[in-house]
Amino acid sequence: MPAQKTPQKRLIVALDVPTAAEALALADTLAPQIDFFKVGLQLFLEAGFAVCDALSKRGHKVMLDLKFHDIPQTVALTTAQLANHDIALATVHGYPQVVAAAAKAKGRTKILAVTVLTSLGHEELAQSGFAGTLAELVQLRAETSLAAGADGIVCSPLETALLRKKVGSKPLIVTPGIRPLDSARDDQTRTATPHAAIQAGADYIVVGRPITKAASPVTAAREILDEIG
């Protein structure tokens, strides 16, 4: 766990906006205090790798959050496409066959296995047919994903402390579902503050709407950085 990293190095801002122009403008506004950005499905479908490349050329690190989940051959072929781009982190769903396929084709990119989406609650879990608890499912997917070759995991801040204790200090833990105390939860179910997530053992926290929808994204980002530190 990179405890030596500064708060600036541990905050990933989710560019959950509809166009590349908006994403790059937001990144330019937040630079230089933020240098790590997440590109998700909405933005990638509009702009493709071009927006990732533009961020990289500006000196930023990129987390590509497309949550690959398909047959192993398709996942491997898709992951191999990342080699042509400067992608620091990429996400796949936390199923061993999916993780193993991505890990074999990842190149320089680090693979993060998504355990359970932070929007999922106990009621939705019961509807899926899983008989255990959310924490048990997260732990199961984390351990099997790491065994299959994942470099790290994505989990909610509520499971971070448990997983850090279980998996040790080496694997990356990236935590979305971050909400400052005065921020709305939106569609997130399992949330925590930036400070709580870092204290629980997260290497990186991912923050979107509390920054991107703020009246002043720069001020909102600075307040979160202050809370991390």
Task: Provide the residue type at 55 as one letter.
Answer: L
Binding residues are: 16, 38, 65-74, 118, 179, 188, 208-209
- CA atoms within a 13 Å half-sphere pointing along the CA-CB vector of 93: 11
> What is d(CA 55, CA 67) in angstroms, rounded to the nearest whole number?
20
Average pLDDT, the chain: 90
* Residue tagged active-site, from 65, 106, 151, 203: 65
CB 118 within 8 A of CB 190: yes
**CA 158, CA 151: separation in Å to the nearest integer?**
20
Q: Are 12 and 194 in contact (CB under 8 A)?
A: no
Radius of gyration of the chain (CA): 17
User: Does the annotation count 104 as an active-site position?
Assistant: no
What pLDDT is attached to residue 133?
Answer: 79
- Contact by Cβ (8 Å): 191, 182: no
Mark 150-172 as b/e (b = at least 16 C-beta within 10 Å): bbbbbbbbbbbbbbbeebeeebb
The helices-and-strands tally (H runs, E runs) of the chain is: 12, 8
Task: Count CB atoms within 10 A of the CB of residue 42.
Answer: 13
Class at the top of the CATH hierarchy for domain 7-228: alpha beta
In the predicted model, what is the mean pLDDT of residues 44-73? 97
Residue 203 known to be catalytic:
no
- Give the start-to-end residue ranges of the domains of the chain: 7-228
3 contact partners, CB below 8 Å, separation of at least 6: none
Judge whether 177 and 188 are in contact, CB under 8 Å: yes
What is the DSSP code (8-state) at residue 107?
A: T
Question: Is 67 among the catalytic positions?
Answer: yes
Given 9, 53, 70, 104, the catalytic residue: 70
Q: Which residues are part of a known binding site for substrate? A: 16, 38, 65-74, 118, 179, 188, 208-209
**pLDDT tens per residue across span 163-205:** 999 999 999 999 998 888 665 555 445 568 899 999 999 999 9
pLDDT digits (tens, 9 = 90+) for 130-165: 657 788 889 999 999 999 999 999 998 889 999 999
d(CA 203, CA 153): 10
Angle 221-226-229 from CA coordinates, rounded to 5° = 125
